[in-house]
């Protein structure tokens, strides 16, 4: 027989044990909640900082190309290599990866006002119609880029775009001319465009890490040579870079760009080269053809 005192003692022990379990459970839930909260904040930060221009422009010289038949081509194929060596499994993984990046904002006005570096880009495009530019080339054309020509707001400035893989509804595009090619093949496909542009806008393509991961020195040179080929004398290449796009930015510029371009400020010192947005997540450089 168990005494009343013993039952009380066991009851107290059981109660204490339950309290410990409850406290441990509460702490575990709190930890999970903090992790979830941290994850949500991380995702929100990534979306707001990196915006959505990179997924859209990935097709321009990036890691892969999604065509109408859903076939995959790597950068090697883009500039003359051979993608047939990729296995079907590798192609499917690459396709899934790229599809995860693809995004077309439903609210374009909000996208341009709030997302990542878009507020600065909005300001930049608006300045172009007031400058000494006659013909511009924008590398990349998605449906959300249809605002760019309106932002420039000039009847005297011709606004061209370069895009090999058009958005689902080509009528969304708004430009004065379209080069349907990759930067590295423009000389072959459009030989009449030599020295034809005062300004080339390159946001989210050459300066994106996933593009550079697929480039070797020869491909980098081919891209830079094509930009130089398109520009008129003293023409400007506006390059946006993302944080960590290359291991050493200074060395990269010295090796690949500065032998052919001079880095200077833009529009009478309106912006300095290296203009930084979002704590250095995005930088804008201005290179002038030598």
Pairing of strands 72-73, 65-66: antiparallel
Supply the pLDDT for residue 161. 97
CA 50/CA 198 separation, integer angstroms: 28
Report the pLDDT averaged over residues 86-97. 62
Supply the pLDDT for residue 128. 95
Average pLDDT of the residues of the chain: 73
Q: Which of 14-28, 41-55, 66-80, 221-235 has the highest mean pLDDT?
A: 221-235
Residue whose token pair is 């949500």? 40
Supply the pLDDT for residue 187. 97
CA 255/CA 263 separation, integer angstroms: 13
Q: What is the dihedral of CA 214, 217, 223, 228, to 10 degrees?
A: 160
Lowest mean pLDDT among 88-97, 103-112, 156-165: 88-97
Supply the pLDDT for residue 228. 98
CA 269/CA 167 separation, integer angstroms: 35
Stronger pLDDT, 7 or 283, i.e. the higher one: 283
- Of the pLDDT bands very low, low, confident and very high (cuts 50, 70, 90), residue 265 is very high
Supply the pLDDT for residue 144. 84
pTM, two decimals, is: 0.66
CA 91/CA 83 separation, integer angstroms: 9
Q: What is the dihedral of CA 267, 271, 272, 277, to 10 degrees?
A: -150
DSSP state of 153: -
| Side-chain-side CA neighbours of residue 262 (13 Å) | 9
CA 282/CA 240 separation, integer angstroms: 7
Q: Which of 1-15, 31-45, 60-74, 139-153 has the highest mean pLDDT?
A: 139-153
Supply the pLDDT for residue 5. 43
Stronger pLDDT, 276 or 280, i.e. the higher one: 276
Whether pLDDT at 117 is above 80 = no
Report pLDDT digits (tens) over 197-221. 999 999 989 998 888 888 899 999 9
CA 128/CA 150 separation, integer angstroms: 11
Whether pLDDT at 111 is above 90 = no
| Backbone torsions φ then ψ of 90, nearest 5 degrees | -65, -40
CA 16/CA 268 separation, integer angstroms: 74
Written as six digits, the tokens of 3 are 């005494």
Q: How many residues does the chain have?
A: 290
């Amino acid at each position: 027989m168990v005494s009343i005192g013993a039952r009380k003692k066991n009851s107290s022990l059981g109660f204490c044990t339950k309290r410990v379990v409850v406290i441990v459970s509460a702490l575990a839930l709190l930890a999970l909640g903090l992790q979830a909260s941290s994850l949500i904040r991380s995702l929100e930060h990534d979306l707001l900082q990196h915006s959505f221009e990179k997924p859209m422009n990935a097709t321009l010289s990036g890691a892969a190309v999604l065509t109408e038949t859903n076939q995959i081509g790597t950068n090697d194929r883009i500039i003359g290599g051979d993608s047939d060596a990729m296995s079907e499994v590798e192609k499917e993984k690459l396709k899934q990866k790229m599809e995860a990046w693809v995004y077309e904002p439903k609210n374009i006005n909000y996208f341009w006002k709030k997302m990542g570096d878009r507020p600065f880009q909005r300001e930049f495009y608006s300045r172009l119609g007031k400058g000494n530019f006659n013909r511009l080339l924008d590398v990349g054309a998605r449906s959300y880029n249809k605002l760019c020509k309106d932002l420039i707001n000039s009847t005297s400035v011709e606004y061209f775009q370069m895009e090999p893989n058009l958005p689902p509804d080509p009528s969304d595009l708004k430009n004065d001319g379209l080069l349907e090619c990759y930067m590295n093949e423009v000389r072959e496909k459009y030989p009449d465009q030599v020295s034809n542009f005062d300004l080339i806008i390159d946001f989210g393509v050459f300066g994106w890490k996933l593009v550079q991961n697929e480039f070797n020195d020869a491909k980098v040179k081919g891209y830079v040579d094509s930009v130089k080929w398109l520009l008129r004398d003293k023409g400007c290449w506006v390059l946006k870079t993302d944080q960590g796009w290359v291991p050493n930015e200074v060395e990269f510029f010295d090796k690949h760009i500065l032998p052919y371009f001079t880095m200077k400020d833009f529009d009478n010192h309106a912006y300095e080269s290296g203009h930084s947005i979002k704590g250095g997540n995005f930088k804008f450089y201005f290179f002038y053809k030598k």
